[in-house]
Amino acid sequence: MNSNINDLPAAMEAPQGEIPETPAQSELDAAKAEAAQWHDRFLRKAAEFENFRKRSDRERMESSILVKSSILLEFLPIVDACERALKSFEEEDDKSGRLQKYRQGVELLYKQLVDTLNRLGVVPIEAKGKPFDPHLHEALSNLETQEYEENMVVEELRRGYLFNGRLLRPAQVVIASRSKQ
Domain boundaries, the chain: 122-181
Provide the whole-model pTM: 0.67
**81 pLDDT exceeds 70?**
yes
Per-residue confidence at 15, pLDDT binned at 50, 70, 90?
low
Sequence letter at residue 55 = R
Residue 116 confidence (pLDDT): 93
| Architecture of the structural domain at 122-181 | Roll (2.30)
- Provide φ and ψ at 37, rounded to 5°: -65, -45
Beta bridge partners of 139: 173
Look up residue 137 and give its amino acid: H
pLDDT over 80 at 102, yes or no? yes
Kind and range of the H or E run holding 72:
helix 23-91
The phi, psi pair for 142, rounded to 5°, reads: -110, 150
Give phi and psi for 170, each to the nearest 5.
-70, 150
Of 21-30, 43-52, 119-128, 133-142, minimum mean pLDDT range:
21-30
| Higher-confidence position of 147 and 38 | 38
Dihedral of alpha carbons 14, 19, 24, 26, sign: negative
- Summarised one tens digit per residue, pLDDT across range 50-74 is 999 999 999 999 999 999 999 999 9
Q: What is the pLDDT of residue 23?
A: 84
pLDDT of residue 169: 95
Query: What's the pLDDT score for residue 155?
Result: 92
Rounded Cα distance between 13 and 100, Å, is 114
In whole numbers, what is the pLDDT of the chain averaged over residues? 86
Residue 11 is predicted with a pLDDT of 47
Query: 68: Cβ–Cβ under 8 A, 6 or more apart, which residues?
Result: 120, 163
Q: How many CB atoms lie within 10 A of CB 128?
A: 14
Q: Report the distance separating Cα 137 and Cα 111, nearest Å.
A: 24
The pLDDT of residue 48: 96
